[in-house]
Amino acid sequence: MPVVLNRHQGKVAIVTGAGQGIGLGVALRLAEEGANVVIAEYNAEKAQAAAESCSHFTRALAYPVDIGETDQIEQMVRDVVATFGRIDLLVNNAGVLETLPLFDLTPEKWDWLQRVNQRGLFFCLQAVAKQMVAQVPESVKAAGKADRSYGKIVNFSSIAGRSGRPYAAHYSAAKWAVISITQSAAGYLAPYNINVNAVCPGVVPTPMWDEIDRVQAERFGLEPGGWIKKTIDSVPLKRAATPADLAAAVSFLLSEDADYITGQTLNVDGGVEMN
């Protein structure tokens, strides 16, 4: 059982895509550690159910939003500030994936994926970071150096952002972009002491993986479950990750324990990538 600390007491956290899978695990962990959580999720029913689960620990708000729409993101930031007074933490977790052979990747499929995984992630970061900077006192801004952390952001990349995947060229491109967005934002926001880091999950059985397995197993003539089994067999630690494994890493990066870490990308993948 993971050790649950109390590191986010009273903080206000937005977690995108927190209606299921890894994002739900992250939201629950932050709530357990005392943060007020905003479930920023496309699917309104899942957002509501996730917020109800988190509300056993803390104050939780279901916020149905499409992060591909910048006006919705900006409205969300205004509404969260109106409800909670400020924003301290952002987890940019929402993502989509459809595996496709290289030659079947159309401009429409390309744009569909980048709209969420790259563009949506960037504009969530931009809107929330603007709010975090607005929360920094003018005297601190004038000094050009902050006395304490004024916000923390974690972006979801993937091991597919560390090396290109043959059946997910669009996804790998987006997840590589997430690493560069993380570095650009970390540099820009460093004078405000706002930390920006990324995580790269490996294999985490979630609804996203159910679909990958269904399509890839059929493509390669395997039984259902065959593709994910083959993938897990190649993990050095010989097991899949759980959402809780990712949540533990994210919670650490959002905590004071990670005050001196920024611009980094952490593989949480059982040893698949060792860079």
Three-state SS at 268: strand
Return the number of the residue (78 or 145) whose C-beta is nearest ligand NAD. 78
Cα–Cα distance, 262 to 241 (Å, whole number) = 24
Return the number of the residue (150 or 213) whose C-beta is nearest ligand NAD. 213
CB of 46 to ligand NAD, least distance (A): 6
Nearest to 95 by CA among 188, 28, 2, 177: 177
Contact positions vs ligand NAD (CB under 6 A): 16-17, 19-23, 41-43, 46, 65-68, 93-97, 116, 120, 156, 158, 201, 203-204, 206-209
Helices (H), 190-242: 207-219, 226-233
CB of 4 to ligand NAD, least distance (A): 20
Exposed/middle/buried for residue 82 (C-beta within 10 Å: 0-12, 13-18, 19+): exposed
Return the number of the residue (134 or 237) whose C-beta is nearest ligand NAD. 237
Cα–Cα distance, 215 to 2 (Å, whole number) = 33
Residue 192 bears catalytic tag: no
Largest CA distance in the chain: 64
CB of 129 to ligand NAD, least distance (A): 18
Is the Cβ–Cβ distance between 236 and 270 less than 8 Å?
Answer: yes
Kindly name the residue from 42, 150, 167, 171 that is annotated as catalytic.
171
CB of 112 to ligand NAD, least distance (A): 10
Strand partners, 36: 12
CB of 140 to ligand NAD, least distance (A): 32
Give the CA distances from residue 37 to residues 12, 32, 62, in Å, rounded to whole numbers and listed in that order.
6, 10, 9
Is the Cβ–Cβ distance between 133 and 194 less than 8 Å?
Answer: yes
Helices (H), the chain: 21-32, 44-54, 70-84, 107-114, 121-134, 138-143, 169-189, 207-219, 226-233, 243-253
Query: What is the dihedral sign for C-alpha 119, 125, 128, 131?
Result: negative
Return the number of the residue (19 or 270) whose C-beta is nearest ligand NAD. 19
CB of 222 to ligand NAD, least distance (A): 18
Just list the catalytic residues.
171
